[in-house]
A and B are shown apart, each in its own frame.
Chain A
Amino acid sequence: AQSVSQHNHHVILSEAASLELGCNYSYGGTVNLFWYVQYPGQHLQLLLKYFSGDPLVKGIKGFEAEFIKSKFSFNLRKPSVQWSDTAEYFCAVHPGGKLIFGQGTELSVKP
């Protein structure tokens, strides 16, 4: 069965630190990949997406993610986090038919 694994359950960083959240998926075919974010008290919303082409994709608020097909990975990065990036981040794969989410990573940024 297809699945998505996020490496860290809770990450705590200080402002200006660099961020990398890991995401691995199990699916051998063509995949569509997403990162969603849920800020405290807000709806789940799309951060960025990858369908094809350049494996480095840029999203909102300075986030980017890199698709590495050989590693079945789609890690999320940001060079310098801000307190306002405190949120829960979900990686998801859409192998055809439906979105399958990872378990989420809670990011806490200390001012």
Chain B
Amino acid sequence: EAGVAQSPRYKIIEKRQSVAFWCNPISGHATLYWYQQILGQGPKLLIQFQNNGVVDDSQLPKDRFSAERLKGVDSTLKIQPAKLEDSAVYLCASSLGPSAKDTQYFGPGTRLTVL
């Protein structure tokens, strides 16, 4: 079965520019997650969707980050404007449901460098 797809794989931008990341989850997975992984740290959940509704966005910096999953399948994460501290790998994951027993499958990530 196809895994979680993400694009682009790498992105370099200047601070104050905007950037968008795309994620296509595993077919049939209702729950989608976006994580931020800063170098030397573990992934940190930014936002969780159940179908096209937001379940948890408590750690999403809403003044500059936004995310949507309009049709309950693909999702985009946007940063506008970017700051130097946004340099990180952005991981998308999906699972059948939101339960701890539903394994989360991760994509390859997008490595963002903000100069």
Is the CB–CB distance between A97 and B56 below 8 Å? yes
Query: Residue on A with the closest CB to B55?
Result: A97
Q: Is the CB of A103 within 8 A of B103?
A: no
Q: Given contacts A44-B91, A51-B100, are A99 and B107 in contact (CB under 8 A)?
A: no
| B interface footprint on A17-50 (CB within 8 Å = 1, 0 otherwise) | 0000000000000001000000000011110010
Chain A: interface residue total (CB-CB under 8 A): 21
Q: Which residues of A contact B41 (CB under 8 A)?
A: 103-104
Determine whether A61 belongs to the interface, using a CB cutoff of 8 Å to chain B: no
Contact, CB under 8 Å: B107 / A43: yes
Cα–Cα, bound, A94→B101 (Å)? 10
A residues sitting closer than 8 Å to B (CB atoms) are 4, 9, 32, 43-46, 49, 51, 90, 92, 94, 96-104
B107 contacts across to A, CB distance below 8 A = 43
Closest 4 CB pairs between A and B? A101-B42, A32-B100, A94-B100, A44-B106
Contact B106 A98 (CB under 8 A): no
